[in-house]
Each structure stands twice: as C-alpha cells, then as structure tokens.
Structure 1
Amino acid sequence: MVALPVYAQSGVTLYGILDEALQFNTNSQNVVHGRNVGGRQWNLNSLSGPSGSRWGMRGAEELGSGLSAVFTLESGINLNSGAFGQGGTAFGRQAFVGLRSREAGSVFMGRQYDSINDYVARLSFTLSGYGGIDHPGDLDNMGHQSHINNTIKYVSPNLRGLTFGGTLSAGGVAGSIAQNSGFSVGARYAQGPLKLGVAYEIYRNPSNIGAALNSNANAVSPTSTSIFESLNSGYLTGANPATTWQVGAVGGTYDFGAATLGLVWSNVRYGNIGRYNGATATFNDMEVHGIYRFGPALSAALDYNYLKGNAVSGDIGDQTYHQAIFRGS
C-alpha cells in the first residue's frame, strides 16, 4: 500500500469596481464667515454612485470535512483624489477573517456589515443592483454608510430558502462591557419569486469614537464632530448625546417576470438624549420601488421614499422628507 500526500486547496481573489460620475448640485452649502455663499456646483463623484469605487481581496483555505478558513479585505477608493473611502479608513468597507462550514454555517470576526445590510437592505432599491438613493441621512444604514468594528458574526446555512444570523460587537472600552457595544439579528426567506427579510439591532453610545456611527479613521469626539447629517446631528453631537441607536426593518420583493415590485419599512430610534431630558427621536421610513425589464439590455426603475420624524422638543424634530428617483439602463 502506498500513502499519497493530500494538499488543501486554497485561493486568493483580487476584485474591484470603478464607478465615476459627473455630478451637478443646484444648492450646495459653502459657509464662509458664518454665511452660506454656496450655490450651483459641478464635481466628480466616485463614492456615492450605484456601486461605490472599491478594491479588495478575498481568500479561502480548505481545511477538510466541508470546513474552510476565509478572509476578506475591502477598501473604498476615491478615484478623484486617490484617498481611501470611509473617512480615510484603509479597508474601511470590510476587514474580517473566519470559518465557513457547509453544514453548520459561518463565523466571522472583524469590521463587518450589520444584519440590516445582510437581510433587509439587499431588498431595497439602493442595494438591489439598480443603484439609487440612500434613505435620508442613511439613518437606518440601508446604504451601509456605517461599518461596525470589533464584530463577531454568525451566518446560517441555507435551509430550504431560509437564512438567519446575527452580530455581536464588543465595545472595547476598559472598565465597561456595555459602552459602545451592540448586537443585531436578522432572517431572510427566498423561494421562487418571493423574497422577505427582517432585522433588528441596537448599539450603545453610537456617536462615541469607534462606536457604530463614528467608526472611521476621521472619527472625533461627539462634542465637536460635524460628520453626521442634519437629520440626526442634533441627537448625536454636543454634550449628552443619545446613548442608544435602534433600528428595526422589514422588506420584501416579488418578481412577476419582467417586473419586480419591492416594499421596505424601517423604524429608527435615538434613545435617552440627555440634552432633551432623556427624550427619544423616532423616524419611520417607507420605500416602494418597481423595476421593469424590456429586455436583457434595457430596463426602467422607479423608487419613492418617505421619511417622517417625530417632534422631540419644541422646534427640534418633526421632519418630513420625500425622495423619488427614476433610472433607465
């Protein structure tokens, strides 16, 4: 008898997307000496298009018995300056390592997307492959502008169309297990023309440096940061910002053949805002979109989004946004 050596198979893949656009804005802001002198603006934009520019590498090493060691490193790239995306963060989109099992599922550790992205956002217009617009301020992270540090993720195998999983994020703060920490859970069902998704997450001290909403290389103290949108900056900056950020979302699409109809709803809460006597700022977002394919190379898509925020204190809050987009390709 002769014993032959067996070598595990492995591979590394380099990949990327270059997405460039000429953008015209009719009312850009440019504050000089406390006065807005802005107006019309032309510029190039390679980060906020249908597929933000990026490059990355992923690898897998077969360990036997259906088990593989895997990793992903992915960085956003600003083509117009050569700088990293995600606030100058190297590998700011994803950076993780883990184990994948065909029968038991997968476990990953590192900087990753949350369950909102994994189970619901892929059913929204922006991430459905047609591109589009984020929900206002990306409050619900459907556009995955926020990437979560120090995260352990579990993803189940596909069980007759059902997948589920969740994440657990360590806060990394000495002397406090809870501060900056959080978790997310979600599930998705896809069978035939129907796809459904649901997810929930909560993160503590979300605007702290390194926390869920302030995790890029340009992160600064919430007492001075200006990186948040006008919709939520009043709840996340300055003294005594919100101590929790919660998102619940459901979504679904149905394929009628040449046409696809989608519906997504999310509820966002910034809780225990100290400057407003512990009040909670609540937002409800509703999206409906449709795509019609005239042929393999021609399609049209329409998306409408409505966002309503509650009144928090006096003239703070009570916001309403309407967005619509039409795309032909």
Structure 2
Amino acid sequence: MKKRVLAIAALGSAAVMPVYAQSTVTLYGVIDEGLQFNTNNKNVVGGHNVGGRLWNLDSLAGPSGSRWGMKGAEDLGGGVKAVFTLESGINLNSGNFGQGGTAFGRQAFVGLSSQQWGSVLLGRQYDSVNDYIGYMTFGLAGYGSGLAHPGDIDNTTHESRANNTIKYISPNFSGLSFGGTVTVGGVAGSLSQNSGFSGGIGYRGGPLSLGLVYELFRNPSNAGAILNSNANAVAPSSTSAFGSLNSGYLAGANPATSWQVIGAAGSYNFGQVTLAGAWTNVRYGNIGRYSGASATFNDVEVNGMYQVNPAVFLSLAYNYLKGNAVRGDIGDQTYHQLSAMADYTLSKRTDVYLTATYQIASGTNSTGAPAVANISLVGDSSNNRQALFRLGMRHRF
C-alpha cells in the first residue's frame, strides 16, 4: 500500500512539472589566413602617400574573412522559434577583434522565426544589398575572392553593418522571397538622423537566382551610422575610414546627408559553369563641401566560375565603376578591376587558394586630386595602379 501511494505521488508531481521547449546552440566559424603581396600599399611620409610594396599576413581580407560565432534556436511551439546570432571577426595575426575592434562586429541579433510568417530580427545586421544581390557578386560568391568593388562603394561585400536595426525576412514562396530593414537612429532629439531603411526581393529556383534592392540612409558617415558603425568610429570631421574615391563626400565638416543604393543582380548555373552579373547605382546627397550637390556612381560587374572537377575550381570577375562629376571635373573618375581565383579542396572543411586582383584608376577623385587605385580592404595606392596577390588556406568548423 505504501509503495502504491509513493508511485501515485511521483506521477502527480511529474504531471505538474513544466515541459521545456527544445533548444539548440551551435558554435561555428571560418579561419581564413593568407600571405599577401601588395604592389602599392598606402605609406604616408611627410603628409604624402608615397606608396610602397608590402608583404604581410592577413586574416580579414580573404574570400571568407576569419570569424567565429554562436547561433541558437528555441522551439516555442506553433511553428515559431526564438533565434539569435552572435558573430565576431578575428584578426589571427594580432588576436584582436575584426571590424575595427567591435566585439561582435559581423552580426549580433535576436528575434522570432516562423516558416509560415517569416522572421523578425533585432540588432546589428546586414542590409538588403547583402541579402538579395551581394551573394551574386565576386566578393561574396562562394567562388569569389572576398574583395569588393572599389572602395566597397555599394556595400555588396557587407563591409558596413547597420546598428539598431529591425529586419523582416519573408517565408520562401516557391523560390521567391522578400524583406527589408528599418534602422532607428538612436539620436536624442532627432528621429531621422543616422536612420535608414532597405528592401529587396529575390528569386532562387534551380539554376537561376535574381535579386533587386533599394536602400536609403541618412547621415551615413556619422559615428554609429551605417558607413561608420564600428567600435572605432569617430566623427566625419576626423575620420580616416574612407579612401579618396569618396572621402570628399563622406568626411569633413559637412558630409553628405544621405546615401542611396539601387541594385540588381542575377546568376545562372550551367552545371560546371556559373555566370553572374550585377549593377548598382550609388548616390551621395546634399554634400556640404560642394554646396549641397549630389555625387553618383554606377558599377557593373560580370563574373564566372568553372568547376574543373570536384576538388578544383577557377573563377574570374571584371568590374567597372564610373563616378559622375560633382563640380567641374571633381568626381569624374573611372575604375577598372580584374580579379581571379583558383581553389583546391583538401577536405570537406579545408581548402587552399590563390587570388590575384589588378585595378587601374583614371580621372579626378572626390577631393579634386588625380584618382588613385583603391582595392577594398587595402586602401589608396600612391598612383592609379595597384595589384594584390594572396596565397591562402581556409578551414571551416
């Protein structure tokens, strides 16, 4: 009788115990290290960039960029999950954080996700350019070099992240999806300062991918705004974050009060061969340095990949960037960039690769000086030509 009473009591207590939802946390990352040779690296002597050749190890400018992160999900029932991601860039050669020393500079967000209704995410995130066209450009394509368009003028390689951002991602409707972001400025007394929004629509079905985006941000180079959002950000009047290609529009006492990007991209896989193309239009509005004028850039890229065999692929990209004059010939600048990559897979998680990028500039840059080459993540050269070579190894975990 005593055993029966204890059994009933145990069953009763179990019946009132809370049932916890299933949850998962995943640690992941990429280690991407390489030996680089820059034929014309920035070297300022006596206030002038005299350039110089440079050999160095770099873990942030590779095809993937070294990072580690944590992501998790908790099943809340009814097809809804709570999700989060914390992701940090890593500089292997110093042990420091990437993204200007920002602890979780790549991504940091939390939100709710539903297969039926989509996802709402809150935090530091990528914009719609990244989500809907960036992955088809050579900087972010799985067969690409990791290098952006000159100066990363259109953020297609997400060098810039948006702080204080709310993002919506729709469900997948037979390959079609859409979404957008709203960035709240976080500036007391002003609802519009440092704020912005982006939106995009994309299709991924079989061998075909297509994307279209639009975004507009206010005060883009302010400390904390999208183009100056890292932990080391300082005011535009004293920043050195931008190259001469666009520093005349984004730095100084009265920089542009708006930054607009319109873009479209597409790719098609033919089996062993993949071909892709992208176009973007970038506009800096109301530039104080030039009496409220606007500056525009048009960028066109074509790229392709040939899968030689399961272990080897070769890829190539050409990029053309044209800036329109703001006043006189100021801003009338042209950039041609050619990039190539060869990759050999050692295992499911490890590969070695060789990349080469060459860029030539002409015209007059945003400061009124002769345009100089500016390969992304390397910065201004001392003249109109620059080449970057990289021999690297990449390991995913």
Fold equivalence (TM over 0.5): yes
Shift of 1:101: 0.6
Distance 1:37 1:308, change over 3 A: closer
RMSD after superposition: 1.3
% identity of equivalent residues: 69
2:33 to 20, 27, 37: 20
Counterpart-to-counterpart distance in 2, 1:32 and 1:125? 34
Question: What is the DSSP-based 3-state SS (H/G/I as helix, E as strand, rest coil) of the residue aligned with 1:18?
Answer: strand
Shift of 1:7: 2.8
Question: What is the DSSP-based 3-state SS (H/G/I as helix, E as strand, rest coil) of the residue aligned with 1:209?
Answer: coil
1:83 to 93, 96, 101: 96
Matches within 5 A, 1:180-259: 180-259=194-273
Task: Give yes or no for the alignment of 1:120 onto 2:133.
Answer: yes
Shift of 1:314: 2.5
Q: Which residue identity is paired with 2:173? A: L
Aligned to 1:277: 291
Counterpart-to-counterpart distance in 1, 2:31 and 2:244? 29
1:179 to 169, 193, 205: 193
Counterpart-to-counterpart distance in 1, 2:68 and 2:185? 28
Deviation readout 1:95-115 (Å, 9 max, x if unpaired): 000000110000000000000
Question: What is the DSSP-based 3-state SS (H/G/I as helix, E as strand, rest coil) of the residue aligned with 1:167?
Answer: strand
Aligned to 1:48: 61
> TM (normalized to structure 2)?
0.81
Deviation readout 1:10-34 (Å, 9 max, x if unpaired): 0111111110111111111211222
Aligned to 1:8: 21
Indicate if the aligned counterparts of 1:135 and 1:305 stay in contact, CA closer than 8 A. Answer: yes
Q: Which moved more, 1:33-42 or 1:161-170?
A: 33-42
The number of equivalent residue pairs is 329
The structure, 1 or 2, with the larger RCO (C-alpha pairs under 8 Å, 6+ apart) is 2
Deviation readout 1:215-238 (Å, 9 max, x if unpaired): 101111101111112211000111
Shift of 1:289: 0.7
Task: Give yes or no for the alignment of 1:161 onto 2:161.
Answer: no
Aligned to 2:280: 266
> TM (normalized to structure 1)?
0.97
Shift of 1:37: 4.2
Indicate if the aligned counterparts of 2:199 and 2:214 stay in contact, CA closer than 8 A. Answer: yes
Q: Which residue identity is paired with 2:103? A: A
Deviation readout 1:22-76 (Å, 9 max, x if unpaired): 1111111211222334311111110010010001101111100100001000000
Deviation readout 1:292-322 (Å, 9 max, x if unpaired): 1121111111100000000111342011000
Q: Which consecutive segments of 4 or more residues in structure 1 shift more than 3 A?
A: 1-6, 35-38
Aligned to 2:114: 101
Rg bigger for which structure? Answer: 2
Counterpart-to-counterpart distance in 2, 1:320 and 1:41? 25
Counterpart-to-counterpart distance in 1, 2:96 and 2:19? 44
Indicate if the aligned counterparts of 2:144 and 2:315 stay in contact, CA closer than 8 A. Answer: no
Q: Which residue identity is paired with 2:213? A: A
Q: Which residue identity is paired with 1:276? A: Y
Shift of 1:197: 0.4
Q: Which residue identity is paired with 1:313? A: R
Deviation readout 1:247-271 (Å, 9 max, x if unpaired): 0110000111111110100000000
Counterpart-to-counterpart distance in 2, 1:323 and 1:232? 17
Indicate if the aligned counterparts of 2:75 and 2:82 stay in contact, CA closer than 8 A. Answer: yes
